[in-house]
């Protein structure tokens, strides 16, 4: 016997009453609405956790048809929970409060698969206690996270240990100016490595969740490249390496494009060229303008060539994968890497509709070839960029934040930019303040997630429903310490337009607000 809720077919086990009362129907619909790609399952808080109903998608995620599921479990959910996770599973159910967790179940082939469930409790009409869960596959997420934790924990500890060690030495050698300088320089160097690695992780997160911003700035290609050369000078000098830039047929120097992300691409590829080459070796960057018939765009080919240790053929396919790095003699030293650099680089290039190819041979060196179209500064293109707003002056922003200090930091930073700032201390207050103002009064809302009285998700839901006051169109940006991809997904699912992590990167906040200002004024 089955029924359908929100288009999801639900099968009832035979000894039940074949329908859900209003409360349970609402709860099931909520679970389905609040999660992506999930099914639902409900059962009783009784021995072996007998199933009351299970939906089509839940069965598919678990790898069964309804009949196969019933045959295997005899209607008891505990039967398909992997033996290793049964105690964990039961403990979680005993908590009876709403929670999200991951555990392993056995599919129809008796293989372990990871699932993620959101759990809530209820009651059936005859007063029996019910558990209700959404079920989603978490297999890839789990593998990714395991890889992430093992890689990160090692690679973040390495520079961190160096920082602690050097700081200790500096403290002991407090009276020697030279030693102090040497140790502090090493502290700074390791801190930059650490920062770089954290940035890569955050970039990967932004790209994966689709919230990485694209920029459109006017810049000169020659100045752009010489800035990068200058930036690399200290690293190259230390290793006595030489970077030669060769220009070939470049006709358009003044361009409009995403110089911020392009810089990340150049820096990642050049940093690798230096890292994976011997001291005193040469690195070349050849900049060519390829013939293009377009009046609006020029097409460039950037070739980064090194004469370093090279990459074997079988590894060439893997180097753009997250956390893949070649394990050989090159990893034994203190070369700082987590294997995210090229994955981020490739994703940025894809986002900019460019292409990135690699040719390499072990022991003779590598060539990374980036082909990228960039807008040229024609009269029309420049007019469009100039017409855009470049500052935040005059915007009115509602900051929803329960922490006084955070309110103050973001508020004051925005006020320096001549933004009119108003505050709400929790989600409920925000929804009320929003309702008391006329439509279009605020230009954007910065929304904390974890707050007393009402959290950021619920508040966003309320504001979005307030269409009379423009709640459906106001940009709402989450500003929170939750940084996992699933957190970002959750914010977007609740109708937020963006997700930024705390502590706030003010440049990123400014870019985001500028984007919404230009959008409101029809300039993009
Ligand atoms: P990592 O943080 O390990 O440098 P990347 O994603 O930037 O991570 O690179 C992945 C792997 O590709 C590196 O571990 C390295 O082994 C290899 N690699 C990248 N660039 C080069 C290069 N120019 N020469 C040799 N090997 C390279």
- The better pLDDT of the pair 338, 290 is held by 290
What number does the ligand 1 atom closest to the CA of 304 have? Answer: 23
Residues listed for the chain: 524
- The better pLDDT of the pair 479, 192 is held by 479
Task: List the Cα angle 216/218/220 in 5-degree steps.
Answer: 130
- The better pLDDT of the pair 265, 34 is held by 265
Indicate the pLDDT class of residue 324, thresholds 50, 70 and 90: low
Distances (CA, A) of 466 to 3, 450, 460, 471, 491: 32, 22, 10, 5, 18
Give the C-alpha separation, 66 to 52, whole Å.
Answer: 13
For ligand 1, atom 8, which residue shows the shortest CA distance? 339
- In this structure, the number of other CB atoms found within 10 A of the CB of residue 95 comes to 11
- The better pLDDT of the pair 15, 280 is held by 280
Query: What pLDDT score does 401 carry?
Result: 95
Indicate the pLDDT class of residue 338, thresholds 50, 70 and 90: low
What number does the ligand 1 atom closest to the CA of 344 have? Answer: 6
Residue 307 C-alpha to ligand 1 middle, in angstroms? 14
Query: What pLDDT score does 284 carry?
Result: 97
Spatial contact of 250 and 263, defined as CB atoms under 8 Å apart:
no
Which residues form ligand 1's pocket by a CB distance below 6 Å?
268, 272-273, 276, 306, 308-311, 319, 325-326, 330, 337-343, 366
- Give bridge partners of residue 359 from the DSSP assignment: 367
Per-residue pLDDT tens digits for 349-376: 988 889 999 999 988 999 999 999 999 9
Distances (CA, A) of 323 to 261, 299, 344, 369: 20, 31, 11, 21
CA-based nearest residue to 283, from 339, 247, 243, 327: 243
What number does the ligand 1 atom closest to the CA of 339 have? Answer: 8
Q: Which residues, 6 or more positions from 50, have their beta carbon under 8 angstroms from its beta carbon?
A: 13, 43, 44, 75, 76, 77
- The better pLDDT of the pair 481, 48 is held by 48
Helices (H), 276-335: 313-316
Crossing angle of helices 341-351 and 259-275, in 10° steps, is: 150
Residue 280 C-alpha to ligand 1 middle, in angstroms? 19
What number does the ligand 1 atom closest to the CA of 340 have? Answer: 6
Residue 340 C-alpha to ligand 1 middle, in angstroms? 9
Instruction: Provide the 8-state DSSP code for 270.
Output: H
Spatial contact of 21 and 124, defined as CB atoms under 8 Å apart:
yes
Residue 325 C-alpha to ligand 1 middle, in angstroms? 6
Q: Which element (helix H / strand E) includes 247?
A: strand 242-248
> Could you tell me how far CA 20 lies from the centroid of its own chain?
38
- Residue 510's SS3 state is helix
Query: What pLDDT score does 335 carry?
Result: 47
Edge-to-edge strands of the sheet including 39-44? 2-5, 8-12, 51-55, 39-44, 129-137, 112-123, 99-106
Question: The tokens of 395 are what?
Answer: 């915007």
What number does the ligand 1 atom closest to the CA of 197 have? Answer: 2
Percentage helix, strand, coil, to 5, in the chain?
45, 25, 30
CB neighbour class for 517 (10 Å; exposed up to 12, middle 13-18, buried from 19): buried
The listed range with the strongest mean pLDDT (87-101, 126-140, 446-460, 510-524) is 446-460
Mean of pLDDT values over 467-482: 90
| 279, pLDDT greater than 80 | yes
pTM exceeds 0.85: no
Residue 319 C-alpha to ligand 1 middle, in angstroms? 7
Of 19-23, 79-83, 325-329, minimum mean pLDDT range? 325-329
What number does the ligand 1 atom closest to the CA of 310 have? Answer: 25
CA-based nearest residue to 435, from 407, 467, 477: 467
Indicate the pLDDT class of residue 35, thresholds 50, 70 and 90: low
Q: Which residues, 6 or more positions from 7, have their beta carbon under 8 angstroms from its beta carbon?
A: none
- The better pLDDT of the pair 327, 71 is held by 71
Residue 358 C-alpha to ligand 1 middle, in angstroms? 11
Give the C-alpha separation, 460 to 454, whole Å.
Answer: 10
Indicate the pLDDT class of residue 38, thresholds 50, 70 and 90: confident
String of DSSP letters for 132-154? EEEEEE-HHHHHHHHHHHHHHHH
| 147, pLDDT greater than 60 | yes
Residue whose CB lies within 8 A of the most ligand 1 atoms, among 319, 334, 361, for a mutation test: 319
Mean of pLDDT values over 130-147: 78
Of 23-37, 182-196, 233-247, 402-416, minimum mean pLDDT range? 23-37
| 233, pLDDT greater than 80 | yes
Query: What pLDDT score does 333 carry?
Result: 47
Residue 342 C-alpha to ligand 1 middle, in angstroms? 7
Residue 192 C-alpha to ligand 1 middle, in angstroms? 18
Residue 260 C-alpha to ligand 1 middle, in angstroms? 22
Question: The tokens of 393 are what?
Answer: 């002056």
Of 18-27, 278-287, 315-324, minimum mean pLDDT range? 315-324
For ligand 1, atom 16, which residue shows the shortest CA distance? 326
CA-based nearest residue to 190, from 153, 162, 156, 157: 162
- Give bridge partners of residue 186 from the DSSP assignment: none
Which is it for the CA torsion 25, 28, 32, 34, positive or negative?
Answer: positive
Of 10-14, 207-211, 435-439, minimum mean pLDDT range? 207-211
For ligand 1, atom 4, which residue shows the shortest CA distance? 337
């Amino acid at each position: 016997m089955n029924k359908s809720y929100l288009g999801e077919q639900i099968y009832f086990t035979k000894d039940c009453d074949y329908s859900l009362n209003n409360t349970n129907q609402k709860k099931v619909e909520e679970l389905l609405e609040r999660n992506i790609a999930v099914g639902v399952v409900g059962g009783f808080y009784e021995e072996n956790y007998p199933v009351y109903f299970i939906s089509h998608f839940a069965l598919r995620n678990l790898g069964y048809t309804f009949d196969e599921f019933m045959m295997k479990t005899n209607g008891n959910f505990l039967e398909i929970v992997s033996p290793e996770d049964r105690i964990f599973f039961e403990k979680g159910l005993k908590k009876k409060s709403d929670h999200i967790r991951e555990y392993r179940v056995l599919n129809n082939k008796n293989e372990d698969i990871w699932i993620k469930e959101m759990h809530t409790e209820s009651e059936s009409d005859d007063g029996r206690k019910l558990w209700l869960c959404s079920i989603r596959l978490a297999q890839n997420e789990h593998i990714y996270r395991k890889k992430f934790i093992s890689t990160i924990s090692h690679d973040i500890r390495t520079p961190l240990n160096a920082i602690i060690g050097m700081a200790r030495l500096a403290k002991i050698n407090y009276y020697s100016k030279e030693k102090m300088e040497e140790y502090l320089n090493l502290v700074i160097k390791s801190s930059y490595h650490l920062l770089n690695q954290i940035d890569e992780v955050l970039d990967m997160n932004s790209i994966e969740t689709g919230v990485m911003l694209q920029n459109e700035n006017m810049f000169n290609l020659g100045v752009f490249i010489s800035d990068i050369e200058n930036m690399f000078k200290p690293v190259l000098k230390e290793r006595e390496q030489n970077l030669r830039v060769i220009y070939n047929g470049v006709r358009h120097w003044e361009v409009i494009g995403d110089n911020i992300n392009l810089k990340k691409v150049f820096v990642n590829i050049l940093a690798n060229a230096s890292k994976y080459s011997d001291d005193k070796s040469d690195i070349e960057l050849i900049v060519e303008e390829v013939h293009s018939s377009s009046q609006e765009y020029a097409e460039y080919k950037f070739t980064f060539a090194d004469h370093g240790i090279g990459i074997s053929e079988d590894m060439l396919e893997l180097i753009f994968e997250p956390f893949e790095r070649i394990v050989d003699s090159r990893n034994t030293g203190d070369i700082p890497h987590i294997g995210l650099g090229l994955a981020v680089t490739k994703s940025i290039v894809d986002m900019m509709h460019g292409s990135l190819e690699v040719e390499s041979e072990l022991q003779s060196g590598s060539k990374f070839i980036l082909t990228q179209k960039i807008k040229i500064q024609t009269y029309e293109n420049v007019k469009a960029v100039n017409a855009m707003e470049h500052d935040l002056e005059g915007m009115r922003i509602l900051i929803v934040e329960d922490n006084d200090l955070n309110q103050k930091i973001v508020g004051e930073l925005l006020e320096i930019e001549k933004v009119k700032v108003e505050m709400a201390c929790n989600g409920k207050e925000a929804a009320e303040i929003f309702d008391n103002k006329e439509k279009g009064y605020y230009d954007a809302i910065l929304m904390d997630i974890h707050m007393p009285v009402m959290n950021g998700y619920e508040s966003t839901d309320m504001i979005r429903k307030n269409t009379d006051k423009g709640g459906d169109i106001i940009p709402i940006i989450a500003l929170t310490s939750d940084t996992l991809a699933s957190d970002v997904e959750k914010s977007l699912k609740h109708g937020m337009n963006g997700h930024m992590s705390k502590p706030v990167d003010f440049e990123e906040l400014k870019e985001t607000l500028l984007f919404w200002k230009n959008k409101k004024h029809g300039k993009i």
